[in-house]
Structure 1
Amino acid sequence: MGKIVTFGEIMLRLSTERFLRFSQAKSFNATYGGGEFNVAVSLANFGELSEFVTKLPDNEIGESALMEMRKRNVISKNVLFGKDRLGIYFLETGAGTRSSNVVYDRAHSAMAKIKKGTFNWDEILKDATWFHWSGITPAISNSAAEECLEAVKTAHKLGLTISCDLNYRSKLWKYGKEPHEVMPDLLKYSNVILGDIDTAYFMLGLNKEYPNYQDLKSLPILYDKIVEKCPNLELIATTLRYSVSASHQRIGGVLYDKKNIYDADIKEVTPVVDRVGSGDAFMGGLIYGLLNHIDDKQKAINIAVASCCLKHTIYGDYNLVSVADINKFIEGENTGKVSR
């Protein structure tokens, strides 16, 4: 079984309790999370060999983050330590018609200040079969974007499958470059992309489109414009999210293989316990599905959607479910009855 390597930043997550606003909070729940790490945790829960590559501060908080990786059975042998700090994000959880809100405090973090050449990617990826990155890493700093490009180039050279979750975060692109100036060079090496069509167009510098995801016949035309910009692209997936309220989501998904569209049925998810990390859960499920059901893309997108739906029922960034849980959900055993 080949190793899956993900690259990014693990952060300290500080969230308000009981749906309180920031101004009401007298304490915060402290957990960990981060897009690429969340994917690694999902894959470890599914029984895959997953490794997370990052840089942490050389202090007790950095050591605590490393302990969290080991607790979640994620390989951490290529985690580096240095000066600076661990990135933090504050979460105010919404309810009903009030949306959740995130405030980032990750400037000058150990990952944001990495330099090109920090990691020996030839060594790290020599026994891997899959490399995953997201649009968050190149958003935190120019140097992080440069190191991410080195990783992607090495993975391509070694023949790994490369996946990317576009993960556009407008609050992060603050260092003087726009996504369309950075992302095309990274995306041209990717084989699997997860993201909305309009986000992909924005990052690739294409004119904005307004896709109708219910019109499956029109989607290939729009997806093909992304394929034209990404010569190594084989698959594009999109999470379909229809927010009824912060507490009620309708979740589906589509997958395009340059020939056919595969769509998963829309599922009702209510009440929502924690929406954060649900896109990462979709990505983890998609990677697992593609690795284990290479000839059944419908099965792969069904697993991705099931993973996403189940994550909404779990507090924290991670999708703490098993393959058995996902199979039960797909088979319709999602009534919430007590298992005795």
Structure 2
Amino acid sequence: MGKVLSFGELLLRICPDEGGQWLQENKLPFYVGGAEANVATALALWGVPSAYLTALPDNFVAEQLVGYLNGKQVQTDSIVYLGNRVGLYYLPKGKDLKNAGVIYDRAGSAYAELKPGLIDWDTVFQGVDWFHFSAICPAINQSVADVCEEALKVAAQKHITISLDLNYRAKLWQYGKDPVEIMPALAQYCDLIMGNIWAANKMLGISLDEELIANLSKEALQEHAEATSKAILEKFPKCRTVANTFRFDYQQGIRYFTTLFEAGTLYTSHEYQVEQILDKVGSGDCFMAGLIYGFYHQLPPSETLEFATAAAFKKLFIPSDATTSTVAEIQETISAYAN
């Protein structure tokens, strides 16, 4: 197979502590992030030919960021240089991106200035067999949403496999459109759609039976995951695989499992439970990368799901946006929790 191309905005995550100690110490921790960049670096770490396309300003900061990606064996030849700034977001350590405290500083970034016609997709897609993007991209503005559709049309014409992560960020959808007005037109091009039953409802208009899942039992969630997956496949005939993640925070810790629906069969992963974690950011990206890894290597669906789930679980203990877990370490986790 050829390379996997991930498309999205490269971000810097700024991590002030909640107590304000950073002001006294003059230290502000940060991480290189962005959902699609996290996927790209994970795949490169796991030996999958990985490329990344974003837009950055033509300055020394961007040059260093590109050098950082290249150092992780991510190809960056197609990056577009325009505009004046790199997107930022602020999130205290340990918090989730769905947390109300997240602050985005992305308006006017280079990526936000992308417009249809700027990218030569025929050239970009040379040697590419898989194209990945997320719902964060079209959440930026209508112009970027149009760029996504432009890319998807060309990718579909070239029979490139397309994956979509339905990550919902309420604070980003601020240009007068609800996700359900934008996302279905993009999802119709996708072969693999990953998210959860709530995101599928919010972004694709798939029915949500809140009474069924009121107690959040695993059996009820599995039943709903199968129903949601079948509804997605019916609504978007090109899609052949749907994956759902379920992560719940309790006082006693984290509960995490996933499902994969393909060829009429629902697969459910091992359920992980743990009392404490380090960093929630990037776990879903790691799961997405794990799915791509499994399908890239033509692993059976159950093996693909277990690899992706274990990779995502291990990411919860890594204090950064992207994973540093190797394939061997992920496989050790699968073995350790199998019994």
TM, length-normalised to structure 1: 0.91
- Structure 1 residue aligned with 2:287: 282
> In the TM superposition, what whole-angstrom CA distance separates every residue of 1:70-119 from its partner, at most 9, and x where no partner exists?
12211000011112210001111247xxx683211000100011111121
Amino acid at match of 2:219: Q
Alignment of structure 1 residues 1-340 onto 2, 5 Å: 1-16=1-16, 20-21=17-18, 23-26=20-23, 27-94=27-94, 101-210=101-210, 212=213, 213-215=218-220, 216-217=222-223, 219-245=225-251, 248-294=253-299, 296-332=300-336
Structure with a larger share of its residues in helix: 2
Distance apart, 1:217 and its partner CA: 4.5
Distance apart, 1:276 and its partner CA: 0.5
Distance apart, 1:68 and its partner CA: 1.7
Amino acid at match of 2:320: G
Distance apart, 1:321 and its partner CA: 1.1
Query: SS where residue 75 of structure 2 aligns?
Result: coil
Separation in 2, partners of 1:86, 1:270: 36
Separation in 2, partners of 1:219, 1:69: 35
Q: State the Cα RMSD in Å.
A: 1.9
- Structure 2 residue aligned with 1:337: none
Residues 48-57 or 27-36, more deviating: 27-36
Query: SS where residue 294 of structure 2 aligns?
Result: helix
Query: SS where residue 231 of structure 1 aligns?
Result: coil
Separation in 2, partners of 1:7, 1:172: 17
Separation in 1, partners of 2:12, 2:227: 41
Amino acid at match of 1:249: I
Query: SS where residue 44 of structure 1 aligns?
Result: helix
Query: SS where residue 131 of structure 1 aligns?
Result: strand
Contact 2:87 2:109 in 1 (8 A): yes
Separation in 2, partners of 1:234, 1:214: 23
Distance apart, 1:230 and its partner CA: 1.0
Contact 1:92 1:100 in 2 (8 A): no
Find runs of 4+ consecutive structure 1 residues off by over 4 angstroms.
none
Contact 1:201 1:208 in 2 (8 A): yes
Distance apart, 1:207 and its partner CA: 4.2
Separation in 1, partners of 2:192, 2:314: 23
Amino acid at match of 2:41: V
Q: In 2 relative to 1, CA 70–203 (structure 1 residues): closer, same or farther, beyond 3 Å?
A: same
Separation in 2, partners of 1:270, 1:129: 40
Distance apart, 1:208 and its partner CA: 3.5
Distance apart, 1:219 and its partner CA: 3.8
> In the TM superposition, what whole-angstrom CA distance separates every residue of 1:298-338 from its partner, at most 9, and x where no partner exists?
0010001100011111111011111111111111179xxxx
Sequence identity, in percent?
Answer: 36
Amino acid at match of 1:228: E
Gaps of at least 5 residues in structure 1 are 335-340
Gaps of at least 5 residues in structure 2 are none
Q: In 2 relative to 1, CA 259–206 (structure 1 residues): closer, same or farther, beyond 3 Å?
A: closer
Contact 1:285 1:300 in 2 (8 A): yes
Query: SS where residue 115 of structure 2 aligns?
Result: coil
Amino acid at match of 1:312: L
> In the TM superposition, what whole-angstrom CA distance separates every residue of 1:173-200 from its partner, at most 9, and x where no partner exists?
0111111111111000101011112211
Separation in 2, partners of 1:264, 1:159: 30
Distance apart, 1:153 and its partner CA: 1.1
Separation in 2, partners of 1:32, 1:84: 18
Contact 1:197 1:209 in 2 (8 A): no
Distance apart, 1:225 and its partner CA: 1.5
Residues 209-218 or 164-173, more deviating: 209-218
Query: SS where residue 292 of structure 2 aligns?
Result: helix
Contact 2:7 2:53 in 1 (8 A): yes
Distance apart, 1:218 and its partner CA: 5.1
Amino acid at match of 2:301: K
Separation in 1, partners of 2:31, 2:94: 18
